[in-house]
Amino acid sequence: MEGGATVPVARTMRAAVYRGQGRVQVEQVPVPEIGPGEVLIRVAACGICGTDIKKIEHGFIEPPLILGHEVAGTVVAVGDGVSRWKPGDRVVSFHHVPCGTCFYCERRLFSQCEKYKQVGLTAGFRPSGGGFAEYVRAMPWIAEHGMVAIPADVTFEEATFIEPLNTCIKAVEKARVAEGEQVAVLGQGPIGMLLMMLAARLGAEVVTTDPLPSRRTASARLGASASFEPASPGLVSEIRRRTTGRGADAVLVAAAHPALVEQALSLARPGGRVLLFAHNDPVLRLEFAAAAVGIEEKEILGSYSAALDRQEMAAKLVFERLLPVRELISHRMPLDEMPQALELAARPRGESMKVMVIP
């Protein structure tokens, strides 16, 4: 292995390799080789993201790939020229970093930056995150700007929430959630929970929905004023009651079902905001009444991925345990059970919430 300081590393490793639509299998693959400016990380934990599931189940991407981008672990090797990190450092790593100087970066549209779209974290094959493996290689721009040191008293599992939490901070800011507002969050999976907790932390009163009773119970326990089954007529009446009949100031949609967009627009007040977080499917088409936008002046907003300048904020919320992210973890599964872990994350049941892969 090239580079500077190292600790002993095997030549091969286990990885969950995406081999085509709906197919992921655990294989032995080479441990990534690092070069100048790069870092090799031994993965300790990686969360399963809804985007991973969509890519796998719908076959939007060409195989073979090793996915997984909510990564935390330990540095085991550093390349020549790396001064920020050394073997033994506990880190969380992003997989995208923007250039910081282009047209889009100047407007804080970091995810539209061409450099940002260049994935810089890989376990082999085409760079795709790589957290569903025993080791990942961080390329120079990630090693320099996309890694965060984990304090000794914070677990790797907690640290994996920094990237998804960053995306939620960006979304709540995009929706302009403010103190005293009435907010609805549709969907109380891991992302919906984070959106709910952030909105409540800003001083909004939050009502949520989810089809799973366990998630509704957890939502109310962790900060929601009330949580409803999505089709419950009590949802509309509750929001109307809280707003003198107007409707919600903002509705955050954290589940990808197309019908939720129309529901969100019906819950939002005239001039209110609807933020689509989960609707990042390149094939999905949405329909809604044009008058909701053209006459009632409701805004439909999108938010995708993380914001580099919210990295410290996300880390602070996790590291200082200002948000109870650890309570969102329901399952910890070994890499050898990756197909079962993906199935559970894609089709939650019972008490399931965040599924964590422990390589």
Mean pLDDT computed over 219-227:
97
30-48 confidence digits (pLDDT tens): 999 999 999 999 999 999 9
Q: What does the block give as tokens for 222? A: 């962790």
User: What is the domain partition of the chain in residue ranges?
Assistant: 12-164+307-358, 176-302
pLDDT digits (tens, 9 = 90+) for 192-216: 999 999 999 999 999 999 999 999 9
CATH architecture of 12-164+307-358: Alpha-Beta Complex (3.90)
Q: What are phi and psi of 267, to 5 degrees?
A: -85, -25
Kindly state which CATH superfamily the domain 176-302 is placed in.
Answer: NAD(P)-binding Rossmann-like Domain (3.40.50.720)
Mean pLDDT value of segment 334-351: 96
pLDDT given for residue 165 in this prediction: 98
As a whole number, mean pLDDT of residues 172-197 equals 98
Beta strands 90-93 and 70-78 are antiparallel
Band of the pLDDT at 283, cuts 50, 70, 90? Answer: confident
Q: What is the mean pLDDT of residues 251-260?
A: 94
Helix, strand, coil abundance in the chain, percent, nearest 5: 30, 25, 45
CB burial of 334-344 (b: ≥16 within 10 Å; e: otherwise) equals ebebbeebbeb
Structure tokens given for 208: 């949520």
Within 129-232, residue ranges assigned H as helices are: 140-145, 156-159, 162-174, 190-201, 213-222
pLDDT number for residue 42? 98
* Dist. CA 300–CA 297, nearest whole Å: 10
